[in-house]
Amino acid sequence: SVSIVAFGNERDRFSEENQQPSLIWSYLRRSALISQIDSSSSASHVRNPVFTEYQACVFGNVRLVVHDCPVWDIFDSDWYTSRSLVGRADIIVIKYSVNDKTLFQELKDSYVPMIKKALNHSSVPVIISAVGARKNGMPCTCPLCTLDRRSCVTTSEGVQVAKELGATYLELHTLNDFYIQKYFGGVLEYFMIQSLNQKSSEKIKKRKKMQRCHRVQPPQLEQPDKMPILKGEASHYEADLHNLLCCCQCADVAFYPEDLSTVVEAHKIILCSVSHLFMLLFEVKSPADIHDASIVQTAQSLFTVETETTFPSASRGVPPCVLPVRVVVKDSTFCSCLPDILRFIYSGAFQWEQLEENIKKKLKDPEKTEHVLENVKCILKTPGKLNSIKDCRSHKIKQLCSTSLRLFFNTPILADVIFKIQGATVPAHRAVLVARCEVMAAMFNGNYLEANSILVPVYGVSKDTFLAFLEYLYTDSCCPASILQAMSLLICAEMYQVMRLQHICELYIITQLQSMPSRELASTSLSIVSLLKKAKFHNSDCLSTWLLHFIATNYLIFSQKPEFQDLSVEERNFVEMHRWPSDLYLKQLAEYRNYVHAQKCHCAVM
């Protein structure tokens, strides 16, 4: 069989013909060598498939499996799956549109190093396909747009990326029969033949090796017991922030109409993470830092920050010394739509169509609706750049909060709580902590000392581990530097009952141990039994079960280590029962070696 993995989107996002069939599907459908095509999608979301799997036959009876991943986000959201796909691939195809310079730059800066690291100097052939005819159109003039349609990816830029990966570079000006079948198909089929020849050669060598002792067959070594499979937990980052708005815990800003008849509470940290206008309003940035007069003018025309200390209501979960900021909304029409706008922002600022529909139903006036939507665009605007409504619908906006909240991680800006740990201080924001962690929500909103304190001591974890824990709460991602750090982070996650982070650490530990060669596993100072004890103590049942199977599967290595004696009687019995290779196989192997040795020592003359 041959396995092909294709990454990237060759379609031009700005072209009206962006619904054309993909390069991989066009090749499979048109090639005379391909037959019995079947496809299926693997998706984390119905409208955003991670990859499409095609199965077919090539060269008559050779099984062909193709995984087409059009979205590069798989390397960010599910690095375990992406690394597995690259590791099993016989051929890798990287596609991009020559008219999408922004996506190409992201590919070059972020994902090429990841692929290069995953390949790890292996001999897997890589094909880079630059698709499309270069266009020189007028630049986009819509608000919120950060792209320039005149900038195309040059041939030299594509060749440079191909050199970095040791890849074959192809330019496909159009997806017609010549470019797909003869040009792209010819190169792809050459590498398929090379892969099949290599596999055939390895199979012949293996067969010859097995036939050396033809008189007495060596004992058959059965496969070890299957390891338990750990499944990742879906992110609920956006839901956490949306629930924060609904319950109004730790709100530190209150919006009022000019008659003070109603109040809408919100959180500075969330608003500032998505809007430079709110940064200006809450003095995180000055007008000189913004460099955009439209943002300053919109802020002055929409809002007024009051300095009085008397408020109609106080917010829950905020210490008495931290009073909410009162903001008067001057525009009555905008103020009536403010709850819908805040729900849009707290939900990740990507459901633009839903926001449009809600405002249209509420106002029932096209002019007023357009006026409010223009103000929302200005709120989301990046200083000095033209923005468009297309960006409100783009998938990149979906990660806006998680990437922007990183700017406020471990900084005193807008911080309303300070953790004291190992003699150092770590600033944080109650709103983020309460939204992302149920234990901290109870701590800051219940009858605890921390609810009315700015300085909160932390015990039982190191500063680096606690910082990694906070980074996950702010960004919904983590990247441990080692197995020991991942275990420390897992213990911290169990302490604060953040189950998804605990599962991420479990997957990291398992992946690192699986990739460790036997020689390194035998010489490492890392105690697997100690990891097992910690996993059991901190209720990590999946990891503890997997580690027991791991010790049993590598029985010959771990049985020689002193730490093996630290296993309990129950654990030792489990390992002995599931050990690999089995005791019966080792006895059969000893008898076979004695037989071979006797044959070599037998005198041929006598």
Domain boundaries, position 372: 248-308+322-384+396-403
Q: What is the DSSP string of 16-58?
A: TTTTSPPHHHHHHHH-TTEEEEEEEEEEEETTEEEEEEEEEEE
Residues 28 and 177 in one domain: yes
Domain contains 189? yes
User: In Å, what is the CA distance from 473 to each residue of 220, 250, 352, 362?
Assistant: 50, 16, 25, 35
Residues 514 and 371 in one domain: no
CATH number of the CATH domain containing 254: 3.30.710
- C-alpha Rg value of the chain to the nearest Å: 30
Residues 161 and 273 in one domain: no
Domain contains 118? yes
Domain contains 456? no
Nearest to 51 by CA among 88, 81, 13, 17: 81
Residues 28 and 175 in one domain: yes
Last residue of a domain, one of 368, 403, 438: 403
Last residue of a domain, one of 373, 403, 433: 403
Q: Report mean pLDDT in 10-residue bins for the chain, 606 residues.
A: 85 62 80 69 45 82 85 73 80 88 86 81 84 68 49 88 88 83 85 86 78 59 65 82 86 91 92 90 89 89 77 48 83 93 83 89 92 91 62 46 76 94 95 93 84 90 95 91 94 94 93 91 92 93 92 91 92 90 82 79 52
Domain contains 447? no
Domain contains 268? yes
Residues 273 and 189 in one domain: no
Residues facing residue 387 across a β-bridge? 144
DSSP state of 216: S
Residues 92 and 182 in one domain: yes
Strand order in the sheet with 62-69: 34-45, 48-58, 62-69, 2-7, 91-97, 126-131, 168-172
Residues 34 and 179 in one domain: yes
* Rounded-to-integer distance, Cα 454 and Cα 432, Å: 15
Span between the terminal Cα atoms of the chain, in Å? 51
In this structure, the number of other CB atoms found within 10 A of the CB of residue 362 comes to 16
Q: Are 237 and 435 in contact (CB under 8 A)?
A: no
Domain contains 219? no
Domain contains 338? yes
Residues 87 and 169 in one domain: yes
Residues 163 and 267 in one domain: no
| Cα diameter, the chain | 116
**pLDDT single digits (tens) 51-81:** 788 888 887 888 888 888 888 777 777 667 7
**Res 403: pLDDT:** 56
Q: Are 379 and 329 in contact (CB under 8 A)?
A: no
Residues 180 and 252 in one domain: no
Domain contains 317? no
Q: Are 377 and 302 in contact (CB under 8 A)?
A: no
**pLDDT single digits (tens) 480-524:** 989 999 999 999 999 999 999 999 999 999 999 999 998 999 999
User: Three-state DSSP class for 426?
Assistant: strand
Residues 189 and 269 in one domain: no
Q: Are 530 and 488 in contact (CB under 8 A)?
A: no
Question: Domains in the chain: how many in total?
Answer: 3
Q: In whole angstroms, what separates CA 411 from the centre of its chain?
A: 24
Last residue of a domain, one of 346, 375, 403: 403
Residues 196 and 108 in one domain: yes
**Res 131: pLDDT:** 87
CATH number of the CATH domain containing 27: 3.40.50.300
